[in-house]
Amino acid sequence: MRMHLHHRRLPLRRPFRIAHGTTTTYEAILVELSHDGESGWGEAGANEYYGVTHVGLEAALESARPIVEAFPPDSSDSSWLDRLWEDCGSVLGAYPFARSAVDCAAWDLHGRMVGVPLWRLFAPEAPAGEPARVHSSYTLGLDRPEIVLAKLAEMPGWPIYKLKLGGDDDLAIVRAVRGVTDVPLRVDANCGWSVATALAMADELTRLGVELIEQPLPAGDRAGMMQVRAGSQILLFADEDCVGPADVAACAGLFDGVNIKLVKCGGLTPARRMIAAARARGLSVMIGCMTESTVGIAAAAQLLPLVDVADLDGAVLLAADTATGVAVDRGVVKLAHEPGLGIRLR
């Protein structure tokens, strides 16, 4: 294989704020793996919250180049993808964003080589010719209630809204949104609450018809999560507490489900392992995203037939994109029927 890196700087539609900061642009590194006339694509993006820069991503990916380019793709057997992911761990083990980009590009290449969409490889029983059965939420970033309502007004008609919380106006935000829509709501505290706040918010949010709370407490607070789980009825999903396959078992008993993000765990290969581990422990599964272009969203969307909840609006937040082929239209995810990820680069 040959590996090519492409840098893209993409503006957001408007500033996006969570409990830890605000972003206005998104910098992506697109990984292209080419072999025998076919190219597969993956994506890794800069992320201030996780301390990931595009310079660091490029350096990490260059360190993996000798391993990647020495690897022979095999269209007759997908096991080469597991071996590539494991081998890349020797240099990309501490760089899951970069590892994910290589892994997703390799899966895209494999799907193109065998002529099959990845979602069909992952879930052969999934009905063909239909949009994904799981709809995506649209995320409203943390802000003053009136600004959150303005953001919602710009994106009407979504079947689910996800509210970023973790500030001083949390309850006012939820009440304001509930005042203008009766669709299901979800909230993500991004580790921003104490146990007392989480318990109080859980009661109020249940009354306001919120479906679930994502990561209410700082990661690693097992004692606190036991209190929140015991004292609330609302569904609780792990995010920062569930990074990779090794974390799934520890979430059982503390959460009702886990949010899997490809760049966080290292790609489609570990994500599929996490789904299997979650199912074995009775946990629900959300497939999530960061701010990403359609290249990254398309990779995550291949897992939709295997999950219960989706938050794949990352490319909708962009004013400019990198690819077409997989679209999220007011929550409806339209999977492509072309091979691999089903995307076409712009």
pLDDT tens by residue, 220-258: 999 999 999 999 999 999 999 999 999 999 999 999 999
The tokens describing 33, both together, are 């793996």
Whole-number Å distance between alpha carbons of 65 and 1:
10
Q: In this predicted structure, what is the pLDDT of residue 131?
A: 66
Q: How many residues does the chain have?
A: 346
Q: In this predicted structure, what is the pLDDT of residue 49?
A: 84
- What's the whole-model pTM score? 0.94
Contact 342, 326 (CB under 8 A): yes
- Could you tell me the CATH superfamily of domain 121-345? Enolase-like C-terminal domain (3.20.20.120)
The three-point CA angle 159-161-166 to 5° equals: 170
Measured distance between the N- and C-terminal CA atoms of the chain, rounded to whole angstroms = 22
Q: Minimal CA–CA distance to 36: which of 8, 70, 62, 72?
A: 72
Output 80-87 pairs: Cβ under 8 A, ≥24 positions apart: 80/110, 81/106, 81/107, 81/110, 81/269, 82/269, 85/266, 85/267, 85/269, 85/270
For residue 312, name the pLDDT band (cuts at 50, 70, 90).
very high
For residue 126, name the pLDDT band (cuts at 50, 70, 90).
confident
**Which CA distances in Å does 167 have to 18, 192, 346?**
9, 7, 38
Q: Using the predicted structure, report yes or no on whether residue 19 has a pLDDT greater than 80.
A: no
- Could you tell me the CATH superfamily of domain 2-115? Enolase-like, N-terminal domain (3.30.390.10)
Q: If you average pLDDT over residues 8-21, what whole number do you get? A: 78
The tokens describing 62, both together, are 């260059």
pLDDT in tens, 149-169: 999 999 999 999 999 999 999
Q: If you average pLDDT over residues 40-46, what whole number do you get? A: 96
CATH 3.20.20.120 domain extents, the chain:
121-345
CATH 3.30.390.10 domain extents, the chain:
2-115
